[in-house]
Amino acid sequence: MTSRIRSHSGLNSPGPHRRTVVKAAAAGAALAAPLAAAFPARAAEAPAFLHGVASGDPLPDGVLLWTRVTPVPEAVPGSGLGPDVEVSWTVALDKAFTTIVAKGSTTASAATDHTVKADIRGLTPATDYWFRFSAGGTDSPAARTRTAPAADAAVTSLRFGVVSCANWEGGHFAAYRHLATRGDLDAWLHLGDYIYEYGTGEYGTRDTVVRPHAPAHEILTLADYRTRHGRYKSDSDLQTLHAAAPVIAIWDDHEIANDAWSGGAENHTEGAEGTWAARRSAAKQAYFEWMPVRPAIAGTTYRRLRFGKLADLSLLDLRSFRSQQVSVGDGQVDDPDRTITGRAQLDWLKAGLKSSDTTWRLVGNSVMIAPFAIGSLAADLLKPLAELLGLPREGLALNPDQWDGYTDDRRELLAHLRDNAIRNTVFLTGDIHMAWANDVPLNAGTYPLSASAATEFVVTSVTSDNIDDILKVPEGTGTALASPLIRAANRHVHWVDTDRHGYGILDITAERAQMDYYVLSDRTKAAATSSWARSYRTRSGTQKVERTYDPV
């Protein structure tokens, strides 16, 4: 998603201030000494688990476990340094590890940045487990995970945390802490932009870097991406959430580079920043090393998980196969040769939705699918909204990085839902740094006289800039002025909050799918509080959103 301090005249054009490129070897050497000095003294004597533990992609009989071990102080992320070390894992039914159900070990090496994954199978469906890792006599923290229900289980309810867009420099990850302390999540969904690729001070933070990135320069190489992932995984609130419940994650653009597409990115200059192929390969390798995610088809993040008879979850990759974004107003958004999903992924999604026998069909979707027209916004609001969405500041009625820029794919997908009478499809979306509750109309121009094919819940950012941050005005200003105009121009939009940071709680029963939206008191404060803001639901069979005053 485009939301940056520098402005650009067109796709792939350099901004007025280009990034300073630092070679991987130099970055590793420069980072190793100060980071090693900051390690606890015991790291010199035994391996350490400095980046926490995590689990992900729960199945009825298994879950993927993850950790990163630091065998010696100089073996910091991205350094390529450090000896091989044997790492074992233990899975138990209790936190005291008195009832052990699985054990195993592997070797962590610099070849995978000393990260470890264990794909545990043979577990019982819908069951809480505890796990930990050990190396050289040192135990990691213990963590909770949970398996998915059996495929044919009559599940009464599910509860997922939902987040996206966490810019390290923009603030603290209090949203993660508040999700972790609930203690009632079956899993949590991260819908993209788990990390950001920019150099220090290059991305919106109300002109204040709350805490600096590492490395300080824009990340380009495998060592860079590993170092950045290591920085994020050092956050105590993120570690706490990973230790509380399994994550189900997809990537968006910033895990690689801003406005990425299959052949490049807005934030990549071919040649000066190496080749796109090499950069994308490095970013994806680091992602799969550092995230508890199973590589899916063709090493992407699109895959499907099932939670009994209540819901299945189709997870999309909307960066690896998409056509290049077009300029707004050039008439190419309807071109049937352009795609956001790629042919194979779209066919896979359509087939999965059609064959699904669950009550709910959830779609993990990194960019908004509901149409969005700006309408008649005042100039002072149009400018920051255009910056946030990547639109020309003269204001035209679409965001070409979203499904709005690939309308043929959207029409085909929504027509498929209509023609096959596929009910209860809910898109779960991040990216836009605002909270939305949308119907997804077959024809936005005639809605609500025409039908809605699905519904969409969009969560705001954990810390990344929103309209108030760009305007540098008090919280609530943007929503008060812009929301009525946005809703007037988009009759399928039931609610939009342009101002606040936070997270969502998706609660599902056979009767309804409900999103409770929570907001933070101050993204720049580590001790930020959380409060409920709004709740919206879609009732089974309706394909429409309605407000509810009953948060779960």
Q: In this predicted model, what pLDDT tens digit does every residue of 233-243 receive, in sequence order? A: 999 999 999 99
The pLDDT tens digits for 30-48 are: 444 444 444 444 435 789 9
The CATH number of domain 157-547, selected from 3.20.20.70, 3.30.70.100, 3.60.21.70, 3.10.180.10: 3.60.21.70
Mean pLDDT calculated for residue range 408-413: 97
Q: Are 199 and 20 in contact (CB under 8 A)?
A: yes
Which helix (H) or strand (E) element contains residue 385? helix 379-389
By the 10 Å C-beta count (0-12 exposed, 13-18 middle, 19+ buried), 380 is classed as exposed
Instruction: Please report which confidence band the pLDDT of residue 279 belongs to, taking 50, 70 and 90 as the band edges.
Output: very high
Mean pLDDT calculated for residue range 189-206: 92
Q: Are 240 and 176 in contact (CB under 8 A)?
A: yes
Q: The whole model's pTM is what?
A: 0.89
Q: Domain limits of the chain?
A: 39-146, 157-547
CATH architecture classification, 39-146 = Sandwich (2.60)
Torsion angle in degrees (nearest 10) through CA of 380, 492, 188, 59: -150
Which position has the higher pLDDT, 59 or 46? 59
Q: Note the pLDDT of residue 207.
A: 79
Lowest mean pLDDT among 10-19, 357-366, 420-429, 485-494: 10-19
Q: What are phi and psi of 528, to 5 degrees?
A: -55, 140
Instruction: Please report which confidence band the pLDDT of residue 387 belongs to, taking 50, 70 and 90 as the band edges.
Output: low
Q: How distant, in Å, are the alpha carbons of 71, 394, 477, 498 from that of 480?
A: 53, 22, 5, 9
Average pLDDT across the chain, whole number: 89
The pLDDT tens digits for 126-177 are: 999 999 999 999 999 999 999 999 999 999 999 999 999 999 999 999 999 9
pLDDT > 90 in the chain, percent: 77
Res 395 pLDDT > 70 = no
Which position has the higher pLDDT, 468 or 219? 219
Q: Are 372 and 492 in contact (CB under 8 A)?
A: no
Q: Under DSSP, is residue 117 helix (H, G, I), strand (E, B) or coil? A: strand
Q: Note the pLDDT of residue 378.
A: 56
Which helix (H) or strand (E) element contains residue 6? none
Q: How distant, in Å, are the alpha carbons of 26, 179, 199, 486, 536 from that of 65?
A: 32, 20, 30, 43, 33
Instruction: Please report which confidence band the pLDDT of residue 18 belongs to, taking 50, 70 and 90 as the band edges.
Output: very low
